[in-house]
Amino acid sequence: MPPAHPFDDDKLREECGVFGVIGVTDAANFVALGLHALQHRGQEAGGIVSHHPEEGFNSARRFGYVRDNFTKASLMETLPGPLSIGHVRYSTTGSKGNTAIRDVQPFFGEFSMGGAAIAHNGNITNADSLRRELIERGSIFQSSSDSECIIHLMARSLQRTIPDRMEDALRRVEGAFSVVAMTRTKLIGVRDPLGVRPLVLGRVADGYALSSETCALDIIGAEFVREINPGEMVVITDDGVESRYPFRPTKSRFCIFEHVYFSRPDSILGGRSVYETRHQIGVELAREAPVEADLVCPVPDSGTPAAIGYSHESGIPYAMGIIRNQYMGRTFIEPTEQIRNMGVRLKLNVNRALIEGKRVILVDDSVVRGTTSRKIKEMILDAGAKEVHFRIASPPTAWPCFYGVDTPQREKLLAATMSEEEMRDHLGIDSLKFISLNGLYRAVGEAKGRDPNAPQYCDACFSGEYPVEPRDMIDQGFQMKTAAE
Ligand code: SF4
């Protein structure tokens, strides 16, 4: 299995990326490129389905990176046609870390009016109860993925067209979903009513593309048209884009962590580049949490724009004090015990010549378990730093995400069990400051900060206020935030 991220065990992980194309020759090749650009959203496995008017539906699902599988001509030749969708995943539901190929999307269903394939980014929070109900009524599940519920709900719908059946199915589903689906002639995109996970529309030659992020439109030379609205379904055919709104309208709650960490910095979210927003987070952080120091260094790579913003605002010089080992491949990670113990050192190295004798501010995007932060601190001190100050580009992550992001259980989150001072002492650093929730809201463009009565974003992993009740998790014993907390 390829390494997912330089700090595999100490980051929240986005679990999926979706992509689809209609109206171009050999659409699957475009999808493979799109998925390659979305690889940061899931590295465990990927799949592509295509449809050709004469050859029908074809699919390929593989473990590993897109570039290692979907670049082979022998494989891509098996996916012909002008319509195709694909998915990259890191598992959030299903057999986590031990995925069976049957859990790899897109999923396919054969209905009386024809086949349909579905790729889903997000997490269905009532999947357990839906699954129980569907099994009792005779559905036979092939996978352990929550997304398969959508196919079974569609099979049970009495509607006459696939988009209508999909509407029916998705009205029963709670939680977060950005879906890209296809029939023989249609490319379909849907976002849940809160619009928790992203989905954008692009124009490519005479056709259209749907993607989790705009960076994947760029790679195929598609023009960004617009974001799919929360609660919107688009049905795209050769005749153009039809827009529908199948759900009861509600105020949107996009995932604020997409701005901080999940999305690629060259993507556009809410009309602004993610890079620019992260830079602004650094500016806010410098205003809220100044400290006297000699250098501002990012924890690569995701801390970089915020570190640059912090440096601009504070006037403290920016430096690449930590260098990421870009080509840390699988071969080297094949771990003997001795090599495994080197941990973070395999992935990051301190630029000793810069650090020695300096008071260093390290800017990172988040603190999850805190294990990586501790190791980085040790490396910086070993290199002779005089002081180490951490500045974090998100508020303390004190609650798990149930909307399609892999988070440890609440007890494993450092911020769930410790105050900021306790975390500072635990990490053994000179100071530790997180951006405030209001500061983060200002950085993403909400000039007045967070509206406590009607928050503009989902921020549940910071605030503990879940916009959709995580029903399955509550059934499993998860304790929601109490009024006293
Ligand atoms: S809980 Fe956090 S990571 Fe999950 S959707 Fe909400 S803001 Fe995003």
What pLDDT band is residue 346 in, cutting at 50, 70 and 90?
confident
- Answer yes or no: is the C-beta of 218 below 6 A from any ligand 1 atom: no
Cβ-based burial of 435 (10 A; exposed 0-12, middle 13-18, buried ≥19): buried
pLDDT per residue as tens digits for the range 369-389: 888 888 899 999 999 999 999
Residue nearest ligand 1's atom 5 by CA: 255
Q: Is the CB of 192 under 6 A from ligand 1?
A: no
pLDDT over 90, % of the chain: 81
Q: What is the mean pLDDT of the chain?
A: 91
Atom of ligand 1 nearest to the CA of 457: 7
Alpha-carbon distance 469 to 472, whole Å?
9
Question: What strands, in cross-sheet order, belong to the sheet with 45-52?
Answer: 56-63, 45-52, 83-89, 16-22, 207-211, 200-204, 223-227
- From first CA to last CA, the distance across the chain in angstroms is 40
Report how far residue 128's alpha carbon sits from residue 423's, in angstroms, rounded to the nearest whole number: 36
Ligand 1 nearest-atom number relative to CA 459: 7
Mean pLDDT value across residues 440-455: 96
**413 CB within 6 A, ligand 1:** no
Q: Which tokens in the block code for residue 240?
A: 């153009």
* Angle at the Cα of 214 from the Cα atoms of 87 and 250, rounded to 5 degrees: 85
Residues annotated as part of the active site = 16
What are the tens digits of pLDDT across the range 22-79? 999 999 999 999 999 999 999 889 999 999 999 999 999 999 999 999 999 999 999 9
User: At 161, is the pLDDT very low, low, confident or very high (cuts 50, 70, 90)?
Assistant: very high
Distance 322 CA to ligand 1 centre (A): 28
Give the least confident one: 266-280, 368-382, 450-464.
368-382
Number of H helices, E strands in the chain: 20, 25
Rounded average pLDDT over 347-374: 92
Per-residue pLDDT tens over the stretch 179-202: 999 999 999 999 999 999 999 999
Single-letter amino acid code for the residue at 205? A
Q: Is 26 in the pocket of ligand 1 (CB under 6 A)?
A: no
Mean pLDDT of 241-267: 95
**Contact of 365 with 395, CB cutoff 8 Å:** no
- Shortest-distance atom of ligand 1 to CA 467: 6
The CA distance from 425 to 431, in Å, is: 9
- The phi and psi torsions of 259 (rounded to 5 degrees) equal -70, -40
Closest-lying ligand 1 atom to the alpha carbon of residue 255: 8
Show Cβ contacts of residue 400 under 8 Å, excluding neighbours closer than 6 positions. Answer: 407, 408, 409, 410, 413, 461, 478
Instruction: Return the pLDDT at 401.
Output: 94
Q: Which helix (H) or strand (E) holds 280?
A: helix 274-288
458 CB within 6 A, ligand 1: yes
Answer yes or no: is pLDDT of 334 > 70. Answer: no
- Quick: pLDDT tens for 84-109: 999 999 865 555 455 688 889 999 99
| C-alpha 471 to ligand 1 mean position (Å) | 16
pLDDT recorded at residue 84: 98
- Both tokens assigned to 374: 């501790």
SS3 309: helix
Mean of pLDDT values over 120-124? 93
Residue 146 has a pLDDT of 87
